Structure 1
Amino acid sequence: MTSPRDSASGVPGKAGRPWIVPGAVFVLGYTLMNAGKSVFEGHVLVSLTPAFIAFNCFVLAQVVYIGLHRDRKGLINRVRAHPGKVLIINLTTLLSWLAVLYALASLEPVVVNGIVVGAIPLVTLALAPWLRPAMPIVTAEKIAAFGCSASVIALTIVSMRGLSGLGALPPVVVVTGLIAALLTAFGVATNTYATRALTDAQFTSADIMSLRFTLLNIAAAGILFTQGGWTPYTGEVLAIILVLTVVGVFLGIYWLQIGIARTEPMTVSLLFATNLIFTFIVQLLDPRIAVSWSSFSAILVLTAFTIYGTRAAFVDRARPA
């Protein structure tokens, strides 16, 4: 149990003034926005390429973040002092944000998010000796990882057999989507630790947001120039880019930061589990996606194991030694 802290610290405590809007509202808002973003991206990727969306959204985001940065000279000095850590955060961001677009261009949104959510515990456990050597793996995490593995396999079979909301797909499309989703899971799992490493090296949140998209933008530009995929900048295309950038990069991250500051860590993790349910509900609005009870059953099992593993791990570590 955490000790009470007053409202000035960023987290309300028993003696502090309660927040007018609870942090859980912001966390749930973030998960809903993230679900909507996934479905919307999957929809627009029918006519736009992943590299085109990534390049335009993240170049715009990086320009804004650098433009608003108040200590650009200090940022340059910190980058020069820790080039390895900066490279790692760029690599993990590249996997987290670019690979998922290729996955969404191939598979049903809830299948993509399900594979990512389900594979993250597996990646974390596999890399635990390097990512978190001081934190032992508890039994609940192993059980949850096993359940998540079964769910990921189920979602893979659902897609392979044409039982997802998108119906039968060419094998190469399914395999491409599965590989991209797994790469996304690896990127997300390692990105947390890469961010922590930069924070320990005295990088601020503004620093990290200003530098993390550099390699992604270079990679997206390289894909566009070598493989094509440019689209005329019509009013509709510009609106898509603006919506994805504002909701997916600026507003989503802002709401998440507020939610984390006002909510206990276990509550945040448990609320994240609602993402798959939100994704399934939101994708009902996309006419190209049919209702797939096979996908829904798999994500229900996955959500249950995620909640169990998260809660049990927190309870286990909260016990006195």
Structure 2
Amino acid sequence: MLPRAQLSGRAAILLSAVLQAFGQVAYSTFLAAIPSPAFVAYCFLAAAILFLALSGRGVRLAAWKPLLVLNIGTVLTFVPFFYALQLIESAAASAINVGVGPLAATLIGTAMTGSVPSFRRLAVCLGVLVGGTVLAVAATHSGPLTEAAVALRWLGVLASVVTGCGVVIVTLSSRTLLDRGWRSGTVLAHRFYLIVPLSLAMAHGTYDLATVHWSWTIILVGVAIAALGVILPLYLNQIGIKRTDTHTVTVLFAMIPVFAFAIQSALPYNSVHWQTALGIGIISLAVMADLSKRRC
């Protein structure tokens, strides 16, 4: 049996994965008319205010480097991802970004510590990566498309890959701050210094928000998606990062597209291609293989 702390950490990451999958499908389904930078900006502005009020404290000078890396990673994690959701299927976008996560975490860990990863770990990482590659092909060749449409889909794939690298950066920098005694809420309170102004500038400089058909329904749905699909998962992620290792975190994040696939498949007006299902299956097998045996 795993220690209780590790079990609770895994449970937090899995619950976060379910909520993130819900948020991704809900955003691409109900809020496609809202520019992604605007959604990101207002989500994280609310999160920053909330966590600063609850857990904010002065930033120690010795922590400014990992804090800067955390803020950069946050930008790389969310801005490209919500852009990708407008170009490719939500299940494919989430699978591609988590596909690069375990391998990136393993390579970075090897570079930092000099330890050689086990064959099992490398096989799991490659399995998740192969699943992500299948999904990338599915996202860009799902029917007769113009050359411009294919190019846009590949932009969505590239944005998802950048997101996957950002997730690893956020995980490692968050763990550094947590190991220095920071609380989960405190890490979140100081995580949004770059993404909020950048997203606001992108939203108001690139899009005419006055053209969005605002209604109380859209506003209430947006608030619900932001709270359940973005802000709550952020807090659960910090709990999971604190209580389990980086590799396990990135592998469990690979379940996000599995849950997104299940949710998306239940919607009658959303079609999922067989290639997407194949990629999801490969990722699922890799995750189950990794979790089926306790790692030392």
TM-score range, shorter chain: 0.7 to 0.9
Partner of 2:258: 277
Match of 2:200 among 221, 230, 234: 221
Match of 1:243 among 221, 224, 228: 224
Report the Cα offset of residue 275 of structure 1.
Answer: 3.1
**Contact between 2:95 and 2:254, CA under 8 Å: does it hold in 1?**
no
Indicate the SS of the match to 1:82.
helix
Indicate the SS of the match to 1:68.
helix
**Contact between 1:49 and 1:229, CA under 8 Å: does it hold in 2?**
no
**Contact between 1:42 and 1:105, CA under 8 Å: does it hold in 2?**
yes
Q: TM-score, normalized by length of structure 2?
A: 0.84
CA distance 1:172–1:229, shift in 2 (3 Å): farther
Listed as ranges, the gaps of 5+ residues in structure 2 are none
Please give the alpha-carbon distance, in whole angstroms, between the structure 2 residues aligned to 1:123 and 1:263. 17
**Contact between 1:61 and 1:245, CA under 8 Å: does it hold in 2?**
no
AA matched with 2:155: T
CA distance 1:269–1:174, shift in 2 (3 Å): closer
- Structure 1 stretch displaced more, 152-161 or 168-177: 168-177
Matched, 1:138 2:124: no
AA matched with 1:185: G
Please give the alpha-carbon distance, in whole angstroms, between the structure 2 residues aligned to 1:128 and 1:59. 32
Partner of 1:97: 78
Please give the alpha-carbon distance, in whole angstroms, between the structure 2 residues aligned to 1:241 and 1:197. 32
Indicate the SS of the match to 1:202.
coil
**Contact between 1:95 and 1:187, CA under 8 Å: does it hold in 2?**
yes
C-alpha RMSD of the superposition: 3.2
AA matched with 2:119: T
Listed as ranges, the gaps of 5+ residues in structure 1 are 13-21
Partner of 2:135: 155
Match of 1:208 among 187, 191, 210: 187
Report the Cα offset of residue 160 of structure 1.
Answer: 1.8
Structure ranking higher on relative contact order (CA contacts 8 Å, 6+ apart): 2
Please give the alpha-carbon distance, in whole angstroms, between the structure 1 residues aligned to 2:213 and 2:283. 40
Count of paired positions: 292
Report the Cα offset of residue 285 of structure 1.
Answer: 4.2
Larger radius of gyration: 1
**Contact between 2:99 and 2:254, CA under 8 Å: does it hold in 1?**
no
Please give the alpha-carbon distance, in whole angstroms, between the structure 2 residues aligned to 1:156 and 1:240. 29
> Can you list the C-alpha shifts for 1:13-55, whole angstroms capped at 9, x where unaligned?
xxxxxxxxx8877655433222111101112352111101001
CA distance 1:269–1:91, shift in 2 (3 Å): closer
Q: TM-score, normalized by length of structure 1?
A: 0.78
Match of 1:185 among 161, 164, 173: 164
Please give the alpha-carbon distance, in whole angstroms, between the structure 1 residues aligned to 2:248 and 2:40. 31
